[in-house]
Amino acid sequence: MHEYLHKTLTTASLVLLINSASTVLGNYIGGLLFDRWSPYKTMLIGIIIEILSTGILIFQNGWPIYAIMLIALGFGNGIELTGINAYATLITSRHPSYVFNMLYFTSNLGLVIGTLIVGLILQFGISYIFLTATIMFIFFMFIAMIYYKQGVSAPKRTASSGRKHLPKQIRIQIIFILIVFAISWIDYEQWQSNISTFMVSKGFTVQDYSYIWTFNAVLIVIFQPVLTYFDGWLYEHMILRLNIGFILFAVSFCFLLFTHVNYVHI
């Protein structure tokens, strides 16, 4: 939005804010539909919205259609990602932390491939990026139609299946976990929303930016299996694991305070 559509960072940030709110709404609706309607159909609805959003952007990617479709894409992503995570919770043959570690691993493996592809085909035009995304979503829809159809059904709700009251201590812990999670995502989105413009201002190209994300994902793909291997020990020391993660996260921002050298192409 800033470099290609020449919109201000304030405008871009506002669109990203609405996009995030749309994703949250999609998360909520996706969860409701998964529990009370049909997990399989919920997944398909999310994927179809993603296909339509990126498909329109192949032919119309100017302003304001780009912002509108980005918000719609966020809504579809919210529904689809909630469905994937909900399906993951139903796996009983493995420990939950192992399941989500592998889910995070495979998603970042896709990020490696996806960001690398972006860096290679961006030079041919932004429409080819949306074309690639549309093709991948269509491919995903076929996977969902084959493997998710025989999955689970929405749980039957009975008169006795009312809201369960958790102990006060557990409720307080959940609230604090949600607060910490929200703060972490605020920091992460601050990084994600501004790092592209920051890099371009230092002389990097958009292609260089995509390579940075590829490298970032490669590191995750390399180290995530290590974490999975020590899943049992890490689960027993969850607080230590979280504290180390928060420290590393904070240190990464400190490096930007001393990054003032412009990048020069040779």
Q: What is the CATH number of the domain that holds 183?
A: 1.20.1250
Distances (CA, A) of 219 to 109, 150, 170, 230, 247: 10, 35, 35, 17, 18
Q: Distance between CA atoms of 78 and 46, rounded to whole angstroms?
A: 8
Residue 122 falls inside a structural domain: yes
Residue 124 falls inside a structural domain: yes
In the predicted model, what is the mean pLDDT of residues 158-185?
74
> Residue 52: which pLDDT band, with cuts at 50, 70 and 90?
very high
Residue 3 falls inside a structural domain: no
The pLDDT of residue 154 is above 70: no
Q: Longest C-alpha distance within the chain, in Å?
A: 71
Instruction: Give the chain's domain count.
Output: 1
Are 101 and 229 contacting, i.e. CB atoms less than 8 angstroms apart? no
Residue 62 falls inside a structural domain: yes
Looking at residue 164, its pLDDT comes to 61
Domain limits for position 134 = 9-153+170-256
Looking at residue 261, its pLDDT comes to 56
The pLDDT of residue 229 is above 50: yes
In the predicted model, what is the mean pLDDT of residues 61-86?
91
Looking at residue 48, its pLDDT comes to 95
Q: Distance between CA atoms of 171 and 180, rounded to whole angstroms?
A: 14
> Residue 264: which pLDDT band, with cuts at 50, 70 and 90?
very low
DSSP-derived secondary structure for 169-219: HHHHHHHHHHHHHHHHHHHHHHHHHHHHHHHHHTT--HHHHHHHHHHHHHH
> Residue 155: which pLDDT band, with cuts at 50, 70 and 90?
low
Range in 47-51, 88-92, 123-127, 230-234 with the lowest mean pLDDT:
230-234
Residue 236 falls inside a structural domain: yes
Residue 90 falls inside a structural domain: yes
Residue 134 falls inside a structural domain: yes
In the predicted model, what is the mean pLDDT of residues 220-241?
75
pLDDT averaged over the chain? 80
In the predicted model, what is the mean pLDDT of residues 206-210?
72
DSSP 233: H
Residue 139 falls inside a structural domain: yes
